[in-house]
Structure 1
Amino acid sequence: MSVIAIDLGHRFGRVARVGPDGGPAVTTTELAVDGVLDPVTALPRLIGPDPAAEGVPAAEPDRRAVLGLTVPDGREDELRYVVERAGLDVARVVPEPVAVALHYRAIAEGVDHTVLVCDQGATTLGLSVLAIAPDLTVHLVRTLSLRLGGDDWDAALATELAGRLPDGVDPMSAAETLRRALGGSDRVTEFFEDATGVRHEVALERGDFERAVAPLREQLLAAVAEQLTTAEPAVDTVLLAGGMCVAPDRRAEIEALPAAQGLTVRCFQPELAVVLGLFTLLDFGALRVVAGSAARPGRAEPGFAGLGTGYPRVAVDTLLDPEPAGAAAADPEPRAGSPRADDPEPAARQDTSSTGTYAGRARQTTAAGSQGDAFEDPESEADAKPSADPPTAAPAEPPHPEATYSAPLSAEPPRTPPSYTDAPSTPPPEFSATPPTGSPLDPQAAFAVPVDQLQALRRGDHLLVLWAWPAGALSARVRWRREGNAAGTGPERGDDVCRRRVYEHDGGFDLAVGRGAVTVTVEALVADLGDGCEGASSLLVPAAPTVVAYEPSVRRRFTGRAASVTFTSETGCDLPDVRIVHSLGRFRPTSIAEGTVLHEVPAQRLAAGTPLTVEFPLPATRGPSWLACFPADADAGTDSGIDLRPTALHRLRVT
């Protein structure tokens, strides 16, 4: 029985099966064509009709499928449902970065190295660090997903082409066509039909393309350099994947990075790397994929107490409530003989005995075992044997009297000898699963995982950040930094912790970041990694468009009525061509087509705080009439970076 490999992405779907020559035969489908965006509808088109349904005899049809799982926003349940609905059996699900490593033959028995998978597709840029062990175990150390896919390249190029495309042409589609046609050449020419069917020639120069995508390329290279610099263990090979890495200069750009000096950068059929890697599982032996580092699972960065906390960690292995200096002197000398069973413990010893601090630490340790053997230590077995005199606590490690916390901040409790076996003890104090009100401690979170559905809504100078919380996460780390030379007051970067209950109460997480472009990174803090992997989710929020307010007014003169429109902006900007539209009726116009153009304002520089006023005659009319302003290039929309809006809607009515 043969197996087919399925790579079902957000924009493209690819299926590889055994071809007539015995090699892989790949079928690629663009999911956005004909409105086919739903994987349930797209997959049957990818795998084709069942041969048995067509009446063609088939000895052994394809029944098993190997799936590629997107990291970190894996859709395993959705993909399994789609494949099983198409009549296939899911043989295995492999993370896409691992499939890329299989494509480049980077996984083999006896191989021990670390690779960085750079997968730039249509929607996102995925950076994943894989530690490959000699026993065919792949450790998915961490992964990062950024909004730096081909759609972002096309959007930047569409902005550059604003005003050069004929009416009725989709700017994004035209930008993608020109980008693909440009390739490695210096100039390309394509023809596009306008709304009337007339063909227009549009040329794209290499310099114009480079200028449009320069900020995005800088962000991509900075993200790759950061992963190469901070990855542990150190990366020795970079593997390129995704349709955007087909660009001839992508490999050279990464090789030129200072952090990539001495590393191997491989690029071979990057657009098919995932599906061909999945196809190689047909002849591959046992492969084990685990999350986390090969040495030990990665932990959240120092400076955060972990799951559910909104407080920074004071310091690693530092107790918030140290033992008073004079506490050891209050401990009385041990008795000369064994105490009787009904002899109570001295009061001073009761305050510092194992019934307080020890019990609290045993509760933390016995999460995976029993409470009785929580502190059994081979080194202390000899001390636990009965003797003529009862054992005494070592003065070098005084116990801590504070027993209200479930665990100290340090990673491991200090070693202490076992408690008396023949001495009476008082009932242990009550412990709660949650810290007391005002306590800076919460149950520690050891892992930082990415979040799903990360988005940001602009509200003036603020951002409302929204995301879907992973199961078990009670807090999340939110970081942001300004991109480029964004002007504004306040810090250029920030780092904060969001409590889940505060997030749900406020309906999101509010950030005061100004109006410039910012990158927001969110990672949820959890105690158990489970089947997931560590990482963070990032989102590039473009700069808010500059607001240009306008206000029309009408004055009566001897020669008739004259209208004027005043434009103002709080920041200096380049005002595009603007058309002033006059409309009759009870409703204001919403486009140039709903009225008559009375005046056109040419493109010019609008100084900050300096009003620009234009005057023109207003024809005599009966009934209500309106004056509204619209950009001359309506297809560009707000891509020019200008938001043209009236000071008040009711002021648009002039008669």
Structure 2
Amino acid sequence: MIAIDLGHRFGHVGRIGPDGLPDVVTTGLDGTDGVLDPQRALPALLGSAPPGPDGRAVLGIPATGGGEDELRRAADGAGLVVDRVLPDPVAVALHYGAVAEGVDHAVLVCDQGATTLDLTLLAVSPDLTVHVVRTHSVRLGGDDWDAALAARLAGRLPDGADPRRAAEMLRRALGAADSVTEPVLDTAGAPHPVTLDRATFEEAVAPLRERALAAVAEQLADAEPAVDTVLLAGGLNAAPGRRAEIEALPLARDLTVRCYMPELAVVRGLLALHDFGVLRVVTGSPRSAARADFGHFRPDTAPPAAVTDPDTRTAPPAAVADPDPLTWPPEPDDPEPEPHPASTGAAPDAADAGHRNASPRGDGSPYGDGSARPDTSPAGNGSPAPHGEPGSAPGNTSEPGPSARQQPAAPPPESPPDTPPTTGPAATIPGPRQPPDLSQPSAPAAPPAAAPEPPPPPPHSAHPDGTGTPGEAPSLFAVPVGELQAVRRDDHLLVLWAWPEGALSARVRWRREDGSAGGGPKNGDVVCRRRVYEHDGGFDLAVGRGAVTLTVEALVPDLGGECEGASSLLVPAQPPVVEYEPTVRRRLKGRVATVTFTSETGCDLPGLRIVHSLGRFRPTSTAEGTVVHELPAQRLPAGTPLTVEVQLPATRGPSWLVCFPADANAGTDSGIEIRPTALHRLRVT
């Protein structure tokens, strides 16, 4: 398997070498933008780093999103089998080891490449779920650095030299050195030595550097949840001093800033993806997770608000033909009506007129008695077709929308009609002009003949996955899936399985074995589409905290020698979870720590030891710190906090306050999970 990071100016292809270490090949994309035109960039990139014999690949996608379909098509055209497409910020988090089981924190990924500075806030959950909360992009990349440096070098470059290309070459050659001299070619191709020192470079890019730091500070101030780690990625962040500049920001002085091979952070993170088989990526804040429809999570619903343009959600839909024009109430009669085009010799089609102009009761008004309420009698007596069957109406096989739009726009006749006017309520005052998509009342016509029955609705697919085309009902067979498993995430389950060949959707049914464990329905039946499953890294199901029986069956068009059936799995109930959070306050007698324990379900809390440890690293056992308090075993009621105050010793530097079971086997034997609300809150000073 290979990992591909396709950027605007450079591409990286990584694979695990024979020694077990990542091996990365970097290729410049001269004249091609890898993000905007992957169809051309990907073959050029694979020419210098061909894929393996299996052709499997993991692809990175920019933080701003978009272009995934085009990237997949380019990979298919290059002969690759795409295992997964992962956002670049998530890959950076994997590179730095910021995603691990039991880790709960928020990180800010600063990725500054050739064109933009992308600042992405990630919320990492203990169950290997990464929430991409938001991304803020600033047009502040390496191209802007090169333009500023080229302006400073104006007059020092030979005639005919490309200023941007020369500036980029000198900037990359400078690296961490104090000065560098590189040959720059003139129009005739003759080399001319040009020297660039550190002072000149820093002076040229100082305004851009200040803008970048201001953007980082703004994101740290507005981040929700609060950031505890900053991760650097991109070629510009490989410059010396970048980490120290961010650490010097007032809002980042207590944060951890990491910078290790930032130019290869994305591709190395993609290679590390094989260690996270159940990694799930969700767009939006953890607080906006899909929990409203308890037990009925639909994977192909509308995208979350965090990635949806609000204007497209609130804008009215585009004008379409009205399939049921008589359902609109009539407007007030025009006191000065104009002659209706239907009163001239050019009458519309008889069948069409019989459908749109004839009254069901023959009195000339749209609804017979002048009522604003439409006639809901069955189709076949001159009434419109039932609502919801667009394009079908009694006696008319054409769509009424275009005729309804064109008829009001017809010019009024310049001479009186040749035929004498008819008498009746609608003959003296013709109906008013109607807006588009509304029916046009006119003089009464002869009673319509019996209209034919409306055509039947198009047949639907036999299965709820929506496959098939109108007029054709494909036959799908239910077969078992392989390797069915479920990972519990509080009141949600991440369901995983191996798809049979040819299956594009699967039916997931579940039943709660403990009906008293929370509210919501006791069973459910939903459909998961394969593409959504592969994009999300599994199927998320809200089923509560009790025991659940899962049944999954894949839908295939051909059995292919397999037997129909389904796969089942019994998921045990979630053990009680006790969360604790320490806080420190200064008093006259010194610092006092308050540790609060809470549990959503009542449980018997085992004996605990509160350990205080010094240093930058969190302790992993009682032997790595000092036991400042022992909490005896006791009953912890549901929803009732238990508060303990601890006197902290006078120390300097960072310190931690962590709880461990008094008996090493107590937590395992009791089936109770004891965890902090957030790991970064354990650092009390």
TM-score higher than 0.5 here? no
TM range (shorter): 0.3 to 0.5
* TM-score (normalised: structure 1): 0.43
